[in-house]
Structure 1
C-alpha cells in the first residue's frame, strides 16, 4: 500500500531588498488664542448692627455673707500665696531676647561700710531681703583675743528702681557684739535674724520704722556660727535654727508676729568614740545610745531642698554628718537633748568652712581648711569628686540661671566657678571683684540678678550678674 520514492532537490535564492520606503510629514499644533475677562460683582450691600442700650438691674449684695465667705477662704489663699512667694518658676525667663540684652558682669556700686580709720573691721556676712530690695551688711572685728565686747552694727542699704545702691545706709541696727551671721526670712521681707560673737541670737521686725528693738531668741554657750530659717508649710509655724561652736543646734518657734520665741528642740552632735572601745553605755530600755560627751564644734549646716527634714552638718574637726529633724535618739542623761545624726560621710583633713546642698540634685558640696572642695551624694559615704584649690575657701553658693554651677570664694580676691556634675572649673566666668583683699562674704540676689561681695576691709561691691552667663 505504501512505498518509498525519492525526488530531486528543489532550491531558490533569497534576496535582501536594500531600498526602503521613506515618507516625510510635518505636524503643527494649531495656534492657541488667549482671552481675558474681567469679573465684577454687580451688587454691593452695607449692613449696620448696633446693640440697644439696656438698663442694668440694681443687684442686691449681702455684705454679711460676703464677709463670712472671705473670712473663710482668706487663710487658705494667704497660705498658698506664701508658699508660692519664693517660687523660682520664672528664674530662667528672659523677656528680652534681642542681641542687645545684658551679657557681661558689671560693677554697679562699691562702698566702704566702716567709718572708722582702723582696718580691723570686716564684712562678716551679707543677706538680701526676699524681694531683693534691701541688702543687710553685718560688721565684725577681725580678731578676738577673748570675750567679744565690741559694739557693732548691721547696716541696711536699699536698691532703687534703677538697681542703684544707696551711698549711705537707710537704717543701722546696733548690736552689743560682733555680727557673725545674718539671714533674712524667706517669705517675710521685714524679718531679719542675726547671730553674734557674744553667743546671742536676735530677730528684728523692720516693718515698723519707729522701732528697732530686737527680739532676744536665745543665748548659746559659744560664738553663733549660723542662723537658718526653715521654710514653713501651710498652717505650720516659723522655725529658726541656730548653731554654735558649743556643739548645739537649737530650733525655735517664733509666734506673735515674730516677737515671741519658744525653744522647740535641742540637737547635739556628740563626739566620736574611740573605735577600740567595745563597751557602749546602755539606756534603761536596753538600747545602745551615744555617750553624753562634749558636742562637736558646728561650723556650717544646710538642708536638702528635696528632703525637708534632712540636713548636713560640718564640724571644726572635719566631720560631716547626715542628720534628721525627725530623729528621736536621746543623749544619755537628758531626754530633751537629741542626737540628730543618722549617717556619717568621709571626713575632711581640716575644719569645715561651708556646706551647701544642691538645689536640683541629691548632692552637696563642702569646703574645708585642707584646701579641698568635695562633691558628695546624700546617699554615699565617700565623696564623688575632690577639687584641689590654691587657697582656703570660706564660702560656697549656688548661682542663678544654671543651678548646677556653684561659686567658691575665700582667701583671695577671686570668685571661682565649678560645675557640680563633673567638678570642672568654668574658667571663662572667673573675675576679680575686689582689689587685693580677701572675700569674706558673697550673696546672690535672684530677684535683681545681682551678687553682693564683702571683704575683710569692710568694702561691699554690688555686681550685675546675668543669669544666662553660664
Structure 2
C-alpha cells in the first residue's frame, strides 16, 4: 500500500530586509491664553445714626417698700461684712519675698472663758461661724454623777483684725443644762444649734437680737453625743442629724427660715445589746430608768464624703457600724415602723468605747479613736483595720486639716496635739502644737476661712493658734 520514493530538494531565497523606514514628527502645545478681569463695587451707601434725646422721667419710688427691703437685708449684709473683716487672704503676699512659705506655728491669743476659777468646768465644744469671724464657746461640768441641773452658757467672741480675743464676749446665751455639742450652720452665719446633757436639741437664729429663747428641735432620752449639719439635699432644705446615748440617731428637716422643724428619719442600731447598759445609772434627765430594748449607746458618727448616703457609727462598747440612709430596715420588736435600723455592715471593733469617727475629705477612708488608746484607719469598703496607731494618751477627738491633703490631728488627754499622715499612719514631725497651760484638750476646731485653729481645755482655757499654709507630709 505504501512505497518508498525520493525527490530532489527545492530551495528559495530569504526576503528579510535590514533597512527600516524612518519618519520625523514635531509636537507643539496649544498656545496659552491669559485674561484679566477687574472687580468693582457697583453701589455704596452711607448711613448716619442719631440718638433721639428724650426727656428723663423722674423714677417712681415706693419708699415704704424700699425701707422694708433694707430693713430685711441689712442685718445679713452687716453680718457678712463683719465676717469678712480681718481677712488674711493677702497677708503673706510679698512681691519681694523668696516664695518659701512659713512653717512656724504661733500662739496668737489666750483667754480663760470662766468668770471665776472652777476646776469642775471645762470647755465642752467650740465652733467657728461660716465666715470665720466669730467663735462660739460652750461649757460643761467635767463629770456628772447622774442627771444634769447645772446652769450653762454659750459665749460668742468676735475675732479682731490682729487675731485677738476680747476679754468680754459680745453675746452670752444662758442654758439650764450643760452643752455637749455645738455647731454653726455651714452656710447660714446666724444659725447655731446645741445638744445638751439632758437630751435637748435647741437652735437659735442670732439675726434677731430680741430672740433669746431657743427653738426646741427635739428631746432625746439621754445625753446628746453629737449634732451634725448636712448639706442641703432634700428639696433644698437643711438637715440636722443628732445622736444620743439613748441609741437613736434622728434626722430633722428645717424649713421656712429654720422656723419649721419636722423629723425626717429615726434610726436605731439594734444589732446587739450591751449588757453593761443595765448596770449604768439612770438616764441624763433623771425622770425614768434606761430603756431595756435592744440598741447601742451611740457616742459618735460621721458621713462619707464620697457617698452622702453612707455613714459610720461608733458606740459605747466599741462597735463600729457601716450604715446607709436609703437601705435602712424597720426595727422588729419595738412596735413602731418609723424606727429604722441603718446597719449594712460592721467593722472590726475597738476594745474600748469609740470616742470619734472622721471621714477623709479626699479618700474613701475614715479614722477612729477609742479609749483603748488606739487610732485606727479603715477603708469604707473593707471590714478589717487598714492601719493602727498606738498612742500614749486617750484620744477624744480627730479632725482634718483644711487645705492640707491626707493630714489629720488627734487630741485628748495631755496638752500635745498630734498630726498624722493617713496614707502611711506616720506622725508629721515638722508640725508641733502644744497647749501652753499643759491641760487636757477637750475640743479643737480649725477656721475654714483663716489659717487658724481654736483649742479649748478642761480648765476653761481658750487658745488661738496660727497654722502655716505649707502642706506637711
Per the normalisation by structure 1, the TM-score is 0.76
Alpha-carbon offset, residue 259 of structure 1: 2.0
**Alpha-carbon offset, residue 143 of structure 1:** 1.4
Residue aligned with 1:145, SS: coil
2:460 to 455, 458, 461: 458
State how far apart, in whole Å, the 2-side matches of 1:323 and 1:363 are. Answer: 15
* C-alpha distance in structure 1 between counterparts of 2:119 and 2:342, whole Å: 41
Counterpart-to-counterpart distance in 2, 1:136 and 1:225 = 18
Q: Deviations over 1:29-75 (max 9, x none)?
A: xxxxxxxxxxxxxxxxxxxxxxxx986865999x99xxxxxxxxxxx
Secondary structure of the structure 2 residue equivalent to 1:390: coil
Decide whether aligned partners of structure 1 residues 56 and 231 sit closer, same or farther in structure 2, where only a CA change above 3 A counts: farther
- For residue 192 of structure 1, what is the aligned residue in structure 2? 192
Cα distance between partner residues in 1 of 2:430 and 2:404: 15
Q: Calculate the aligned-residue CA RMSD, in Å.
A: 2.8
Show the 5 A alignment for 1:10-409.
98-99=97-98, 102-233=102-233, 235-272=235-272, 293-332=293-332, 333-409=335-411
SS in 1 for 2:337: strand
The answer to whether the Cα contact below 8 Å between 1:229 and 1:241 also exists between their aligned partners in 2 is yes
Task: Find the residue that maps to 2:358 and give its secondary structure.
Answer: strand
Matching residue of 1:445: 447
Contact (CA 8 Å) 1:215, 1:260: kept in 2 or not?
no
Contact 1:252–1:262 at 8 Å: present in 2 too?
yes
Aligned mates of 1:438, 1:92 — CA distance in 2: 34
User: How many residue pairs align between the two structures?
Assistant: 378
Cα distance in 2 between the residues matched to 1:106 and 1:144: 35
1:307 match: secondary structure: coil
1:92–1:401: 8 Å Cα contact kept in structure 2? no
Query: C-alpha displacement at 1:441, in angstroms?
Result: 0.3
Instruction: Give unmatched runs, 5+ long, in structure 2.
Output: 1-48, 61-88, 275-291
Q: Name the SS for the 2:442 alignment partner.
A: strand
Q: How far apart are residue 111 of structure 1 and its match?
A: 0.5
| Match of residue 434 from structure 2 | 432
- Does the CA contact (< 8 Å) of 1:270 and 1:339 recur in 2? yes
Please list the CA deviations of residues 185-217 of structure 1 after superposition, one character each: whole Å capped at 9, or x if unmatched. Answer: 011011101000011000111011222221000
Alpha-carbon shift at residue 260 of structure 1 (Å): 2.3
Q: Distance in 1 between matches of 2:329 and 2:439?
A: 45
Q: Give the whole-Å Cα distance in 2 for the aligned partners of 1:92 and 1:238.
A: 33
Give the gaps of 5 or more residues in structure 1: 1-52, 65-90, 275-291
Between the aligned partners of 1:116 and 1:394, the Cα distance in structure 2 is 26
TM-aligned CA deviation for residue 116 of structure 1: 2.5
| Cα contact 1:451–1:464 (8 A) shared by 2 | yes
Q: Is the 8 A contact 1:180 1:196 kept in 2?
A: yes
Q: Mean alpha-carbon deviation: is it higher for 433-442 or for 92-101?
A: 92-101
Query: Quick check: 2:102–2:469 contact (8 Å CA) kept in 1?
Result: no
Q: 1-side partners of 2:471 and 2:364: how far apart? A: 24
Q: Secondary structure at the match of 2:430?
A: helix
Q: How much has 1:448 moved relative to structure 2?
A: 1.1
C-alpha distance 456-56 of structure 1, shift in aligned 2 (>3 A)? farther
1:230 Cα deviation after fit: 0.5
1:212 partner SS:
coil
CA 1:363–1:119 in 2, change beyond 3 Å: closer, same or farther? Answer: same
Rounded Cα–Cα distance in structure 1 between residues aligned with 2:50 and 2:466: 57
Task: Please report the TM-score for the alignment, with normalisation by the length of structure 2.
Answer: 0.75
Which digits, 9 at most, give the CA deviation of each residue in 1:433-467, with x for residues without a partner? 23221000000002011000000000000111122
- 1:249 and 1:96 map into 2 onto residues whose CA distance is 50
8 Å Cα contact 1:103/1:469 also seen in 2: no
Structure 1 residue 162: Cα displacement: 2.9
CA 1:401–1:141: 2 relative to 1, 3 Å: same
Equivalent residues of 1:182, 1:192 under 8 A apart? yes
Residue 164 of structure 1: how far off its partner (Å): 2.3
1:166 shift after superposition: 2.1
Distance (whole Å) between structure 2 residues aligned to residue 92 and residue 438 of structure 1: 34
Find the counterpart in structure 2 of residue 413 from structure 1: 415
Provide the rounded CA distance (Å) in 1 between the counterparts of 2:452 and 2:434: 15
SS in 1 for 2:160: coil
Distance 2:128 2:140 in 1: 18
* d(CA) in 1 for partners of 2:456, 2:383: 34
Work out the CA distance in 2 between the residues paired with 1:95 and 1:315: 46
The answer to whether the Cα contact below 8 Å between 1:254 and 1:260 also exists between their aligned partners in 2 is yes
CA distance in 2, matches of 1:58, 1:178: 69
The alpha carbon displacement at 1:93 in A equals 12
